[in-house]
Structure 1
């Protein structure tokens, strides 16, 4: 097992995901975890994450210097590297030149275990305003950039390694190799952890936790909630009731598709209830334009609907949700900065009328959820379904949500997905969809003036949904999609394509 100590950065759980890619189990814990607990856990290695603070400030997150004397290999990343330097006698200061984004790093010590198989010059992701001005005694500088003299350092005798850059993000071209080297070459891990062990352990834990209790699953029909539902059905069977709330913010025909899979004539032997709550959600969202407020309204209304359904079927002890790691991180739980609230994490109201919320996928990334789905025998077409946010089209409509706008984006999105799939351009896409901007512009159609909405098309390539690159879709696909949307969707006279990656943007619009 590799232990990740969290100092509050945005990519902390992504480190765990990268470690697990090497079939090594990994847990993330706060940096305040005691030395006694660490000794008890006996990890094969420890990784210190990034964070938003300066290590030399009195109130900054820190750890005991004794951590580096436990005889356990330690790797510091970004803030973690600076903290290692600071606690062991090096010098950390405000950098004369900050670095952010893709940066060419020179590997100065290719004999390092960490950099085996890494090119002498390699592209890495930097994100720092402080830097290590002087490495501690006993450390060798192993990598540098023109403005960062200590881009990496190590004390190989003590198995202490540090990188100023982020090897965990996809923008660091050979980052996976570096982390694999740390896990295998430095820590000596065996690589025996597989998804089947997660599924088996989770089912047993759910049986023990819920016992004879009853659970209500928030089923959207997406990958996450579907995998959560099947996990629960294997654990507690008919003690589970799946409630599907059609909030009127789903993709075109999606409500009927979900019912076809999980309903009375579907593939799974579960109690299934469909609640058509479109009017209720639209009324709550009337006049609301602020994204966070929309998310929280939708999240609270979800919970209220579930509470009502729970009362109809009798006492229900647990609410099951398909929350996954990226939801947790972006909602700013712990010390990470809030990017946006997810309806099933930061968007929950203060009072929830259930004994407890159960989130069996909370420690998994999207690709791991899909792997768990396959392990559970869920059909491939459902496992590979592209993500859809809990707030639905409510966050793909900029500004106020109305029934008219929902209809526009549903039709445009259906056309876009159809044309992309028809052209076979969806093979390497992590997510693609149409969104409705709040911009109206002048156009000309049939020799007449129009003043209608602009649709924005988005498509990204990503393996983890923490970082993403905008996809370069074939121009003929975009042209055909544009023509069809403008011709077939009333109220639209302009179509644009979003070329922004994540960061700086998020994948969803709000």
Structure 2
């Protein structure tokens, strides 16, 4: 179904040279209601013609265009007659390929710089329509454009960069030395919107309502009368994928919720109620908690915990799935998973290989259905709302696949699991009561592998320590600790110490990412 429900939409291609910001370009264009795809920087001219894009964006990248390992677009791309916007390395690649001169900069530019628009009447000024003459942009480059190719002119500069924005009037080529896709650049999204609307003449018709109907039609056509199975965790991605599948093929979809014993308090019951009872998903609960906890006994190393949980999950899922004569497997793969697993050269290349990208084990003779693989996280949430899923489910905080196993530092026992479940439940409840939950990107409690001395009821205690963690983040790549109100922290701490047997101390983690991570393990 990869091409079925995108064929009717206009496309803007992003040729990826390995920038850490490449996926942000796609995000910003999606915000403009334009469907876009990341493709390798060396996509052939013939392949581009087949995709029939309205425009092309050349991303940034870490290489130097003049180096022996410099990356270059395929032959003929600049002769396609398609509007092209080059960003940072993309600008330098365009200039270098068309006869310009790129050199190492005497002064490197990293961070905020003021850009000055110098040619309002020039065609490139369409990118700056409605913007002030001077505003702050985000620079991140060591090389610089020293001489323009024939036919190009300057449109903007900074104190250190005379060619901060350039254009070729007749070929609809545009180049920006700064990064409009990052939030640090003022008016960055407007610049990209001006490119796709004023230059590429896109209709901007990419919407979730269209996506729902087109995706359902594509799923029905693919599945026919056959059976689809899928694992459902209750998280945003699996919930939306399951409800979309149910809307498309009804009870031909069989979902399995595997209770691994390290879920949050009452979570299995709540997920079953939400998805099976309220959303009508054909969902079966597989209680394998005893098996998981037995295998986790005495294991303290986090990677071993992950491996045990992953392998046991596959074993349980395959056992149940084998009872059905299924043809398809539903997976909640998102577009960032696909981007990070595609081997483009550079920092964006193979950041990690996702378990749900790139196929199935050989012994599983099933075809994949990945209806969310074109979507970013916020688009999945918008899709969930379009499907009528309750807002609380769509905007719940992320929860790791290994569950509380990696939030219990050290050995996992039934007693320690109960302690963390209760403490975590209290923390999340207080965040909701104080109307803070939706302001936070992720919040949870952690059980530390140490004990502390305390005094309770005039008696000395030696009991467990709970750490609370809450962060604000837009992309989960970086995060800052959330400044929770002191009264809320005081109440939460008092409740945990008084209501959770075995805990006598509560701390709050005020570490940002980096240098820390969001999770503790």
TM-score range, shorter chain: 0.7 to 0.9
Structure 1 residues 286-318: Cα deviation after superposition (integer angstroms, max 9, x where no partner): 666666665455444333322111112x22222
Structure 1 stretch 236-245 or stretch 274-283: which is displaced more? Answer: 274-283
**CA shift in 2, pair 1:194/1:290, >3 Å:** same
Mark the structure with the bigger radius of gyration. Answer: 2
TM-score relative to the length of structure 2? 0.84
Give the 5 Å matches for 1:455-466.
Answer: 455-462=467-474, 465=476
Q: 2:253 corresponds to which residue?
A: 240
Kept after mapping to 1: 8 A contact 2:42/2:74: no
1:15 aligned to 2:16?
no
Q: 1:484 corresponds to which residue?
A: 495
Kept after mapping to 2: 8 A contact 1:319/1:354: no
Give the 5 Å matches for 1:91-106.
Answer: 91-96=101-106, 98=108, 100=110, 102-106=111-115
1:222 aligned to 2:226?
no
Kept after mapping to 2: 8 A contact 1:16/1:27: yes
Structure 1 residues 71-106: Cα deviation after superposition (integer angstroms, max 9, x where no partner): 211112233233223322333444455555x42332
Q: CA deviation at 1:62?
A: 2.3
Structure 1 residues 13-65: Cα deviation after superposition (integer angstroms, max 9, x where no partner): 33222212122222222223221121232211111223343333334432135
C-alpha RMSD of the superposition? 3.3
CA distance in 2, matches of 1:345, 1:122: 41
CA distance in 2, matches of 1:125, 1:397: 40
Unmatched tracts of structure 1, length 5 or more: none
Q: 2:370 corresponds to which residue?
A: 359
- The 3-state SS of whatever aligns with 1:158 is coil
Give the 5 Å matches for 1:137-286.
Answer: 137-146=150-159, 150-263=163-276, 266-285=277-296
CA distance in 2, matches of 1:358, 1:60: 37
For this pair of structures, how many residues does the alignment match?
502
Q: CA deviation at 1:453?
A: 3.6
1:377 aligned to 2:388?
yes
Q: 2:78 corresponds to which residue?
A: 68
**CA shift in 2, pair 1:23/1:321, >3 Å:** same
Unmatched tracts of structure 2, length 5 or more: 1-10
CA distance in 1, matches of 2:142, 2:495: 47
Q: CA deviation at 1:506?
A: 5.7
Q: 1:416 corresponds to which residue?
A: 427
**CA shift in 2, pair 1:382/1:62, >3 Å:** same
Q: CA deviation at 1:499?
A: 4.9
Kept after mapping to 2: 8 A contact 1:104/1:124: yes
TM-score relative to the length of structure 1? 0.86
CA distance in 1, matches of 2:472, 2:217: 36
CA distance in 1, matches of 2:75, 2:232: 46
Q: 2:50 corresponds to which residue?
A: 40
Kept after mapping to 1: 8 A contact 2:136/2:185: yes
